[in-house]
Amino acid sequence: MRITMIGSGYVGLVSGACFSDFGHDVICVDKDAGKIAALEAGKMPIFEPGLDTLVAANVAAGRLKFTTDLKAAVAGADAVFIAVGTPSRRGDGHADLTYVFAATREIAEAIDGPVVIVTKSTVPVGTGDKVEEILKELAGDFPIAVVSNPEFLREGAAIGDFKRPDRIVIGTEDARAQQVMRDVYRPLYLNESPILFTGRRTSELIKYAANAFLATKITFINEIADLCEAVGANVQDVSRGIGLDNRIGSKFLHAGPGYGGSCFPKDTLALLKTAEDYETPVRIVEAVVQVNDTRKRAMGRKVITALGGDAKGKTVAVLGLTFKPNTDDMRDAPSLAIVQSLLDAGAAVRAHDPEGMEIAKGMMPEIAYCHDAYEAAAGADAVVIVTEWDIYRALDLKRLAGTMAAPVMVDLRNVYRASDVEKAGFAYSSIGR
Ligand code: UDX
């Protein structure tokens, strides 16, 4: 099959590389000539474990190419995937579809035969209908089908998620398009990964409902964690105790500083906007968004409490800045709100992150960036674990405590056992324990 991927960002690049690894001929398109040149030179624009070697192998095999020339890339393709960004629109929280529609218009002008157009970007219900309208208006009389095929991959585990998905969702009632999509996903189909064919609007909604449900699950356990602290219970045991019930399931029950990232915050907001447009409120998601926002700021207050109630003139070491480990993504990271509240309270912040510091420097220029956890903690009044990178799981706690002005640890990811940290001389607080 010939597959064209419009947009070489996170989803486009991972999907394109994985499709080429299935044996398809894939061409990834991006407007950013610098990004395309870097990709051609083997440099990845994002940090994602395994992506560089996957790209290199498929480029070497001649199955994966990069270009800025959308027109040439679309000509002759069996399937064209739209994987451009759909950020929150400034001011109102709606998904901004400017890039999706711009790509659609360009694709329309380049179509030269029967083709299936697939929206892989996360798009609100009804976007497929609009894409179809634009194509019908601008493209010639070729048979064109528009399919919704949302992506469920997690950053940091994207390649594994793509190749061993829990399910593939394909939204189209067009028989020819269904067959093209079966061919596109043939290796997974043969592996008996569940493939769910639905209507297009249903498929679009599945993506938002999945992310909103996961965000709800996290937010639920975060509130239970607060209750655990109040009543003297242990949230990790509560998670295990409820998660072993198959109807609940144990995943996404890790209490923490609140969810962040490129998907949950923007997709929950966009779902609320759709609900508003159709005058069908989803109140539980309204509460989730509000609780999660409040929580990120509350985490700053938790650190200040651990400092004895006053952060003025104190130094705080922040370990982990990205919204989760194994990524350099800083979008909506809880660290942003936590650092801001510490700065507002008059503290100085010294930070370390294995992959996120380059991007973080642009977003938080007023803090100090250190080579490792020990340098960050040197002379600090408290150390805060914000993101659970593996290198923070086995710190030499005695050494860490020895470098600090006052050994106080706030563990927002429950990485450590209280007894171990306290043995090293720390005053320790964590989440829901
Ligand atoms: C998410 C979805 O999981 C994925 O299916 C979708 O395609 C994109 O959005 P991602 O944002 O990469 O993926 O990360 P994920 O692992 O889901 O974590 C999201 C946020 O939730 C992180 O901030 C993480 O720290 C937090 N989280 C996750 C928790 O606080 N507790 C948990 O138990 C799980």
The answer to the question of residue 227 being in a domain is: no
- Asked whether residue 194 falls in the same domain as residue 251, the answer is no
Q: What is the mean pLDDT of residues 280-289?
A: 98
- Asked whether residue 37 falls in the same domain as residue 186, the answer is yes
- Asked whether residue 282 falls in the same domain as residue 379, the answer is yes
Give residue 210's pLDDT: 98
- Asked whether residue 110 falls in the same domain as residue 240, the answer is no
- Asked whether residue 188 falls in the same domain as residue 329, the answer is no
Q: The CATH number of the domain where 272 resides is what?
A: 3.40.50.720
Chain segment 169-180, per-residue pLDDT in tens? 999 999 999 999
The answer to the question of residue 219 being in a domain is: no
**pTM of the shown model:** 0.95
Confidence band for 271, pLDDT divided at 50, 70 and 90: very high
Distance from chain centroid for Cα 29: 21
Q: Which of 48, 51, 123, 154 to mutate to test the pocket of ligand 1 (most atoms within 8 A of CB)?
A: 154
- Asked whether residue 194 falls in the same domain as residue 236, the answer is no
Helix pair angle (200-231, 283-306), 10° resolution: 40
The answer to the question of residue 208 being in a domain is: no
Give residue 85's pLDDT: 93
Say if ligand 1 is within 6 A of residue 22 CB: no
- Asked whether residue 188 falls in the same domain as residue 238, the answer is no
Atom of ligand 1 nearest to the CA of 261: 11
The answer to the question of residue 210 being in a domain is: no
Alpha helix (H) ranges present in 185-316? 186-190, 200-231, 235-243, 264-277, 283-306
- Asked whether residue 187 falls in the same domain as residue 290, the answer is no
Domain range for 298:
232-433
Q: Which two tokens stand for residue 384?
A: 């805060």
Say if ligand 1 is within 6 A of residue 325 CB: no
Q: What is the mean pLDDT of residues 78-99?
A: 92
User: φ and ψ at 232, to 5 degrees?
Assistant: 80, 40
Burial grade of 145 (CB within 10 A; 0-12, 13-18, 19 or more) = buried
Please tell me which residue in 18, 28, 263, 370 is annotated as part of the active site. Answer: 263
Say if ligand 1 is within 6 A of residue 89 CB: no
- Asked whether residue 83 falls in the same domain as residue 173, the answer is yes
Q: Nearest residue CA, atom 20 of ligand 1?
A: 259
Q: Which of 153, 218, 253, 327 to mutate to test the pocket of ligand 1 (most atoms within 8 A of CB)?
A: 218
- Asked whether residue 9 falls in the same domain as residue 71, the answer is yes
Is 263 annotated in the active site? yes
The answer to the question of residue 35 being in a domain is: yes
Domain count, the chain: 2
Chain segment 400-419, per-residue pLDDT in tens? 999 999 999 999 999 999 99
Using the mean position of ligand 1's atoms as its centre, give its distance from the Cα of residue 418 in Å: 26
